[in-house]
Chains A and B, each alone.
Chain A
Amino acid sequence: MPLEEVGKDEMERGRRMIGKELAIITVMGRDRPGLVAGISRVLAEHGVNIEDISQTILQDMFSMILIVDISACRTSFESLQEALSQEGNVLGMKVLMQHKKIFDFMHRI
């Protein structure tokens, strides 16, 4: 890799993150139609943008991880959590939302 390319991706990623406040949403349970639609509807209603999304099967359990930008969220962090967990109840899924910083602290030096 040419020297000027080193760290370029990280720089670019850093540039894109400026001004954003990220949270991680984890949705766990049995896969079913309408999951993504349900969760993203709640996010859209709150003015929260999805930055990244990924699905996986972990120990027979479906899980979906969303990285969202809450900087333009129209309600408090707690109200959004409440709305997501209510939607989770409707869908029969467990929904967690945690501020990104805890993952930074625990997994990045």
Chain B
Amino acid sequence: MIYSKEEIFETIQMIDLENLDIRTVTLGISLLDCLDASGEKMIARVREKIRRLGGGLVPSARALERKYGLPIVNLRISLTPLSAVIAGPIRGMGRAEAQAFCCEFAAQLDEACQEMGIDLMGGYSALVHIGMTLADETLIQSLPAVLSSTSSLCASVQVATTSSGINMDAVRIMGEIIKQTAELTEKGSGCARLVVLCNAPENIPFMAGAFHGFGNPETVINVGISGPGVIKSALLAKKGLAIHELAEEIKRRAFKITRAGELIGREMAQALHTRLGAVDLSLAPTFKVGDSVAEILETMGIERVGAPGSTAALALLTNAVKTGGAMATSAVGGYSGAFIPVSEDMGMVAAASTGALSIEKLEAMTSVCSVGLDMVAIPGDTPAETISGLIADEMAIGVMNHKATGARLIPVPGAMAGEFVEFGGLFGSAVVMKVSRFSSREFIQRGGTFPPPIDSLRN
């Protein structure tokens, strides 16, 4: 036979028993040719372009799923950061009128998602790491209203990069915006679609941080792979491995998982007459048993995530995933680390609810993975300045270590530390984590710019 029985069954077992799937295929679409001073014309062009270029996304993915017997869980679209798109139409508008326009535009995009069967759309975004334009400011101020009146639109705001430092005014404002968004949405769930970013790659396939960066072509396909279960069962199958042997096992499996992503990415790009931009190597959990990044660390011998050794175990995992994955694709991109959200991952939720994992330990762990404080539910009475403090810490980790990171924090109104919150669907459920009661108020209220680190001056 051209393949051994073992090879054939390995693939089938990965898909059937170990939850191997393609976590997301994300189509990036540039909206730069839709710009117009007239809001009405701009929106009409945007809707037409999304429908024209994205119409094939769902049917093509369904056909590929059948062809390869491999599930593609999410189909998404990422757009040019929309602050650039609304800049023309809002010029000359009063504040209230501009806000109403943003809500109308957002509603139209949300409707487009529903119409096309797309689960999430990213790009309600602004890049303000140096400073804000009027349009950036308008978009940011519209976030609470927009996130509470839509269900599929995702928002991101980049407030820091290693080369520019941290825009601390934006950090302060985002603390307030997150708090307002939480108050306007049930259980604060609007905040699940809002992430504050540092060093954001322009080709992320994952939400809420995906946007179609300005360096991209007209359209592009970015793929996010999955497969924590595949890694976990490889480690379970072999007892008594030394640390370097664990890394070796992870590399082998990561290679195979990534190849599946590469195949789907290439074929989706071909079907949609575009190109494959990036395969994001990040292991992405889903909210079911056996599909958890935390369980991998526990299989390595950490009793519960958060115990001493967790940061080292996570670093071992992300490093091995990258080493194995990078061999498997010609288009590494996006975050390419590991996701440790405290809601979409059952093992992470269990760790937080048993008290094994504190927000401080989680922060330490984010310095060796990719997305930062992701989907972290915090008490509803957390002051805005404390939220900004958490964001500032995460941004500092990203800026100083030349890495992408983010903060997706959910201050659940009325909830206290230790309570369970059900967000439903993709976002799973979370346990509210305890946040320090000591204040960051004075530090945050200073505003200004956090200067870039000296080692960013490389020219």
Contacts and interface: CB of A to CB of B under 8 A. Distances in A.
Q: Do A and B come from one complex?
A: yes
Interface of A: 13, 22, 24, 26, 52, 54, 56, 58, 63, 65, 67, 77-78, 81, 96-103, 105-107
Given A22-B2, A63-B9, A65-B8, 4 more contacts: A52-B1, A97-B69, A103-B8, A103-B11
Interface residues of B, number: 21
A78 B256 CA distance: 25
B260 interface: yes
Given A52-B1, A54-B5, A106 B67 contact: no
A56 B2 contact: no
Contacts of A106: 7, 10-11, 256, 259-260
Contacts of B263: 101-102, 105
A97 B69 CA distance: 7
B236 to A, nearest CB: 16
Nearest to B3: A103
B66 interface: yes
A8 B322 CA distance: 36
A52 B12 contact: no
A69 B67 CA distance: 14
Contacts of A107: 3, 7, 10-11, 256
Contacts of B7: 103, 106-107
A58 B3 contact: no
Nearest to B68: A102
Contacts of A13: 2
A99 to B, nearest CB: 5
B92 to A, nearest CB: 54
Sorted nearest first, the 6 A-B pairs with minimum C-beta distance are: A98-B69, A105-B259, A105-B263, A102-B68, A107-B7, A106-B256
Nearest to B62: A78
Contacts of A105: 259-260, 262-263
A63 B382 CA distance: 57
B140 interface: no
Contacts of A65: 1, 5, 8
Nearest to A51: B2
Contacts of B5: 54, 56, 58, 63, 65
Contacts of B70: 102
Nearest to B4: A107
Contacts of B3: 24, 103, 107
Given A78-B66, A101-B263, A107-B256, A26 B2 contact: no
A90 to B, nearest CB: 21
B68 to A, nearest CB: 4
A26 B10 CA distance: 12
Contact of B8 (A22, A24, A99): A24
A33 B248 CA distance: 44
A107 B69 CA distance: 16
A58 B260 contact: no
A57 B44 CA distance: 60
A99 B256 contact: no
13 contacts: A22-B2, A26-B8, A56-B5, A63-B5, A65-B5, A65-B8, A77-B66, A77-B67, A98-B11, A99-B67, A105-B263, A106-B260, A107-B11
A39 to B, nearest CB: 16
Contacts of B12: 26, 96
A67 B1 contact: yes
Nearest to B260: A106
